[in-house]
Amino acid sequence: MENWKILEGGLDNVSGFSSYGINCGIKKEKNDLAAVLSDTPAAAAGVFTCNRVSAAPVLVTREHLLKERKLQLVIANSGVANACTGERGIEDAKKMADFAASCFKVDPHLVAVASTGVIGEFLPLSKIEKGIAELSRILPTKKSSREATKAIMTTDTFPKERALSFSWEDKTVHLGGIAKGSGMIKPNLATMLSFIATDLDIDALALDRVFREAVDQSFNRVTVDGDTSTNDMVLILANGKSGVEAKEGSPVFSLFREALFWLTKELAQDLARDGEGATKFVEIIVRGAKTEEEAKRGAFTVAESPLVKTALFGEDPNWGRIMAALGRSGIEIDPHKVNLEINGVTLVEGGMKAKGVGREQSQEAMKTRELRIIVDLGIGEGEFGVWTCDLSFDYVRINSHYS
């Protein structure tokens, strides 16, 4: 990281990009419509939800992206998901893209559309079109990544944006990103949107490959509640404005890969920190599994267990719930070889309560805002880590009144 510089804010740092967010009337007062604009068509890549009930904007944006693997404009709304809306939903998403293309004077297939909010409602197109027209008058002369970030939030409690730069010879490459999501979070993305921009000059196919790597080690390691949304979308645009070209296998490509991994990891961890009603950020690492895939299954089973998550909320060192979750995960396990620790305090040795660790000491380990749980199965070399949060009273309250 010696060539890196962590920057304040998000997309505003990236040359040739501008973004902004406004209220167009979907919500009463808060921002609900955002635009991210590149001065020129940009190489682009995207990863979308694996939920087979995919929302209309996911289908339309995927179709646009595959035409040339380029994008220039992203339009995103919150408040209405445009999911489970049939053929009208598809037509509305296309109209949203076409209207934005005409306002911003870009080709329609270079427009990505994204939506998040309540499933089953139709887009209020008249409000959205009025908002798009307003955004086209604002950009690119005025920009605010923070306002754009606020416009894609639903139950989020804080805006999520990250940025960094790195030097290459006498030039500087910038990366910036924004994200939303706090509930219905499960890998194969989550109820999340994330838009990432860079001014690196990179081939679209190479960008796609490295981006999928980055998503797998970041967004796809987050789980809040085990639910996969209909609207998940993560996009990256690279417009080449830095003048630095990166070819696969080159030193600058390696630098970019490392920077992209950091950016996506930071945004992903912010999602877990902002889990609906969350009071704990939790990292769960399963090592010593027979394979990495088995470690992954074990880690996610623990992370998604309601009994484990409520114990974390109550700061109850009930390690038996973790052992039970591992036992039902379907992975190979020898209970007599399992060791377990929380924040450096060993609670289980050889599948049994660790000797010399009292209740007071184990409870103290649970009281921090961030928890690190390490499980060693002791039967192989497989290792995998995930990020999650606890399950609190507020999670039930928020989700019982969402629509």
Strand locations in 101-250, DSSP E? 111-118, 160-168, 171-180, 193-198, 201-202, 233-238, 245-246
Dig out the tokens for 396 from the structure.
Answer: 């039930």
Burial class (CB in 10 A: 0-12, 13-18, 19+), 28: exposed
Q: Count of residues for the chain?
A: 403
Between CA 151 and CA 78 the distance in angstroms is: 7
Report the candidate in 288, 171, 197, 188 with the shortest Cα–Cα distance to residue 230: 188
Between CA 18 and CA 9 the distance in angstroms is: 13
Catalytic residues: 191
Pairing of strands 370-376, 281-289: parallel
Helix ranges (DSSP H) in 247-378: 251-273, 292-303, 306-313, 319-328, 359-365
Between CA 133 and CA 131 the distance in angstroms is: 5
Let me know: does 149 contact 163? Beta carbons within 8 Å. Answer: no
Query: Between the CA of residue 203 and those of 94, 214, 248, 257, 355, what are the distances in Å?
Result: 27, 16, 9, 14, 57
